[in-house]
Amino acid sequence: MFNSSNWFREWFNSPYYHKLYFEHDEKEASAFITRLLDKLKPAPEAKLLDVACGRGRHSKLLASKGFNVTGIDLAPASIAIAKQQENGHLHFFEHDMRLPFWINYFDYAFNFFTSFGYFRTEREHYNAIRTISSALRSKGTVVIDYLNVHYAEDHLVHKQEKQIDEVTYYLTKWYDETHFYKKIEIEDETLEAPLEFTEKVAKFTLGDFNDMFAYYHLQLKDVYGDYSLNAYDIKNSPRMLMIAEKTG
């Protein structure tokens, strides 16, 4: 069992995390990236940053469109796998988003799949936004893909069981005033004992992100409510896909 203020370091580094979330919807991810790039229309020479890139699923899709892509993530096992896909315009680095990365270098920065909101303090979340903003050139664009708090509260499934590759995942979800929680119990006959992780994600609203953006010279431009890029609706949209521009 692993449960601490840095729970994400071990969980995001686990192969079970990737099997649970990422190995079965490549087609949907590819369609989303295509739609997003059609909307953003980056110049052919644009430099793209994938923040909290994991094993590089989205980075690889972005690079397949011909862009120069850099992915960063704090999970060493994920970056080791991602690095096997490196080429002339796709590179990966082990890096914590709370710490500054390349300054005034990128034209676009992306943070996909609620890869935010899991730090212990407000200051750490602000530091992550600072990293993204400082990495962008003036007029650069950031896209943050986050859950919609209001929808998530209304549609929470408290108990689930999933079977993936002979591994059973028991999911228990709940929330309080400030966070969503998900306990993941993993049963795998190759393990000596079951594993347990508890995710904790902040209930950041659009207003909260607006505050963080404004503090680091990012201006919100558009918000979409799902991966089909439909308009955001505070009650009915499952996601908040926020697009902001660096103003200074």
The pLDDT of 185-204, averaged and rounded, is 92
- Are 42 and 34 spatial neighbours (Cβ–Cβ below 8 Å)? no
Cα distance between residue 148 and residue 159, in whole Å: 20
Residue 135 lies in a domain: yes
161 and 140 in a common domain:
no
Q: If you compute the radius of gyration of the chain from its CA atoms, what whole number of angstroms results?
A: 18
Percentage of the residues of the chain whose pLDDT score is greater than 90: 83
Query: Are 76 and 187 within one domain?
Result: no
Average pLDDT, the chain: 93
Same domain, 161 and 221: no
Q: 25: Cβ–Cβ under 8 A, 6 or more apart, which residues?
A: none
97 within some domain: yes
Residues 125 and 159 in one domain: no
Report which residue type is found at 147: L
Whether residue 2 is contained in a domain is answered as no
pLDDT band at 165 (very low <50, low <70, confident <90, very high): confident
Three-state DSSP string of the chain: CECCCCHHHHHCCCHHHHHHHCCCCHHHHHHHHHHHHHHHCCCCCCEEEEECCCCCHHHHHHHHCCCEEEEEECCHHHHHHHHHHCECCEEEEECCCCCCCCCCCEEEEEECCCCCCCCCCHHHHHHHHHHHHHHEEEEEEEEEEEECHHHHHHCCCCEEEEEECCEEEEEEEEECCCEEEEEEEEECCCCCCCEEEEEEEECCCHHHHHHHHHHCCEEEEEEECCCCCCECCCCCCCEEEEEEEECC
Shared-domain flag, residues 138 and 93: yes
Q: Which two tokens stand for residue 88?
A: 């002339």
The per-residue pLDDT for 23 is 58
Q: Identify whether residues 14 and 101 lie together within a single domain.
A: yes
Specify whether 84 is located in the same domain as 141. Answer: yes
51 with 157, same domain: the answer is no
Q: How far apart are CA 197 and CA 200, in angstroms?
A: 10
Q: What is the CATH number of the domain that holds 22?
A: 3.40.50.150
Cβ–Cβ < 8 Å for 223, 229: no
Please give the C-alpha separations between residue 16 and each of 30, 114, 221, 240, in angstroms, as whole numbers.
22, 17, 36, 26
113 and 156 within one domain: no
Residue 69 falls inside a structural domain: yes
Q: How far is the C-alpha of 199 from the C-alpha of 187, rounded, in Å? A: 17
Residues 67 and 157 grouped into a single domain: no
Residues 46 and 167 in one domain: no
Mean pLDDT of 71-79: 94
| All residues at 6 or more sequence positions from 161 whose CB lies less than 8 Å from its CB, including other chains | 168, 169, 170, 171
Count how many domains the chain has.
Answer: 2
Report the Cα 31 to chain-centroid distance in Å: 17
**168 within domain boundaries:** yes
How does pLDDT run across 29-72, given as a tens digit for each residue? 899 999 999 999 999 999 999 999 999 999 999 999 999 999 99
| Residue 128 belongs to some domain of the structure | yes
Same domain, 100 and 63: yes
**209 contacts 146 by C-beta, under 8 angstroms:** yes
Which two three-digit tokens encode residue 179? Answer: 């966070």
Domain with 14 in it: 7-148+205-246
- Identify which has the larger pLDDT, 115 or 232: 232
Residue 80 lies in a domain: yes
Does residue 106 belong to any structural domain of this protein? yes
